Structure 1
Amino acid sequence: MAVTELRPNMDHWQERVDLAAAFRWTARLNMHEAVANHFSLSINEDGTRFLMNPNQRHFSRIKAGDLIIVDANDPETLNGPDAPDPTAWGLHGGLHRHCPHARCAMHVHSIFATVLASLADSRLPPIDQNCATFFNRIVIDDHYGGLAFEEEGERCAALFDDPRKKVMVMGNHGVMVIGDTVAETFNRLYYFERAAETYIRALQTGQPLRVLPDDVAEKTARELEDYPEQDERHLAELKAILDDEGSDYAS
């Protein structure tokens, strides 16, 4: 029996396993930043109760059973064991209170997304297929206001007002990616970092960019949105690799 098929006596076990795998793989790809970043996944209908990584636990060590449950409507959550730090509460709590369509949220300071967030113009032109995935589907926050305590988290959450836009380039900060499931959100995070890397490396050549026409970019984005099962298969393969390696992520 595969590790991910085991079912300890804990609620939302499959969701926990998926999220733990995403943490492990984000660390493996060096897309995390020490113990400063956070993922969350809603577990109730209105999205205000969610799973999250325990406070300041390295992504490479997180297990399914380690994930804590946070209530965005209950500040007493911050007094529980392994409670999220105030910035995690501010950013993810605000997001899950105000954006019920954001079932899963992944915030990182990955290198190339953060470089993009540091440019005066943080738009991502459609210079290849990966970049075209995000054509007209990115929110750019130009008003960084310091650490994401509650007020800053509320401000950021309000920017996700267009359900079609599921990536926020957080100017001077990093990136926030949202989705319906762990698989969908992680897949989007992975491809956004790849797209940002392609763009930044293209800029480094100093050569003119070959930018796709708007109609081709939009067509490509729609085709990729409808591409069957890519996100689920992607995460399933990553879990299979972890299982083959004897990883304890699903414990």
Structure 2
Amino acid sequence: MEDLAPEAQAGTGFAQERADLAAAFRWTARLGLHEAVANHFSLAVNETGTAFLINPNQMHFSRIRASDLLLLDADDPGTLKGPEAPDPTAWGLHGAIHRHCPHARCVMHTHSIWSTVLAGLADSTLPPIDQNTATFHDRHVVDTGFGGLAFEEEGRRCAELLSDPKKKVMVMGNHGLLVIGSGVADTFNRLYYFERAAETYLRALQTGQPLRRLSDEIAEKTARELEEYPGQAEAHLREIRAILDAEADSYAT
């Protein structure tokens, strides 16, 4: 990681980035969007995107602090041999994405229930039936080639599906949800709203009634308007951190 300052390479840099990511872990656990110790979030911290922060191996989201986060190099083939090696599936999936998709500055992968139910349907696309679902009109990709746990080969295959910067959500067929973005606030906000949108759609299906699908024109207009809506993602994360700070939570330590 030659483009990082010595203090960053030593694990003491990126205080803001670490605290933001730790807050996202804590809030994800509070919302029940995590799954035991199996899911991972990562954040690129250098220009090329190959140096990234990620949660340590098998630590519960509700306990992760800023100082716990690992700083990895996506181009280091010896990463899994170190004393603080990440989970092999975290390395396989997130390492591949940070290596091959520099536009994916932040990557969040969960097995959140509604998105995972969607991932198990024969048709895992999310139709625009309300404002939240319209947010993702033509902005998500469905992976239909699940090949088992996300070790390096599977990670490379998934990374190839994210080559279009417009597609910032991957419904990982038979697996779960993966969201990318420009930073922690942008990515977490997108993850939160996709999970809510998936719940809305699946609950609508449960009624057995016909769906009132928005036209492609209105869905696209709504998606663009929400993309251009000022400051919502940043405000969402700021309020999460304010709540945690008011509770004297240790996430930022």
Normalised to the residue count of structure 1, the TM-score between the two structures is 0.95
Q: What SS is found at the alignment partner of 2:48?
A: coil
Tell me, in whole angstroms, the C-alpha distance in 2 between the residues paired with 1:86 and 1:28: 25
Q: In structure 1, how many angstroms separate the alpha carbons of the residues matched to 2:234 and 2:45?
A: 19
2:152 to 150, 153, 157: 150
Deviation readout 1:123-172 (Å, 9 max, x if unpaired): 10000100000000001100100000100000000000111110000000
Alignment of 1:50-129 (within 5 A): 50-129=52-131
Equivalent residue, structure 2, for 1:21: 23
Partner of 1:159: 161
Aligned match of 2:46 in 40, 44, 47? Answer: 44
Q: Distance in 1 between matches of 2:139 and 2:174?
A: 19
By how many angstroms is 1:76 displaced?
1.7
- What SS does the aligned partner of 1:247 have? coil
Compare 54-63 and 83-92 and name the one that shifted more.
83-92
Residue of structure 2 in register with 1:249 after alignment: 251
SS at match of 2:17: helix
Code of the aligned partner of 1:22: A
User: 2:172 matched to which residue of 1?
Assistant: 170
Secondary structure in 1 matching 2:78: helix
AA aligned to 1:27 is: A
Deviations 1:224-243 (A, max 9, x none): 00000000000000000000
One-letter amino acid matched to 1:206:
G
Per the alignment, residue 4 of structure 1 pairs with: none
Mark the runs of 5 or more structure 2 residues left unpaired by the alignment.
Answer: 1-10
| 2:186 matched residue in structure 1 | 184
Q: Deviations over 1:65-84 (max 9, x none)?
A: 10011111112222233321
Distance 1:80 1:19 in 2: 23
Secondary structure of the equivalent of 2:159?
helix
Counterpart of 2:172, as a letter, is M
Alignment partner of 1:203 is 2:197: no
Distance in 2, matches of 1:166 and 1:66, equals 27
The one-letter amino acid of 1:142's match is: T
- Give the residue type in structure 2 aligned to 1:238: I
Please state how far the C-alpha of 1:85 moved relative to its aligned partner: 1.4
Amino acid at match of 2:165: P
User: 2:220 is matched with which residue?
Assistant: 218
Number of aligned residue pairs: 243
- TM-aligned CA deviation for residue 12 of structure 1: 0.4
* Partners of 1:81 and 1:102 in 2: CA distance: 27
Question: Could you list the runs of 4 or more consecutive aligned residues of structure 1 that deviate by over 4 angstroms after TM superposition?
Answer: none
1:195-232 deviation line (CA, Å, top 9, x unaligned): 00000100011111111111000000000000000000
- Please state how far the C-alpha of 1:10 moved relative to its aligned partner: 2.1
* Partner SS for 1:50: strand
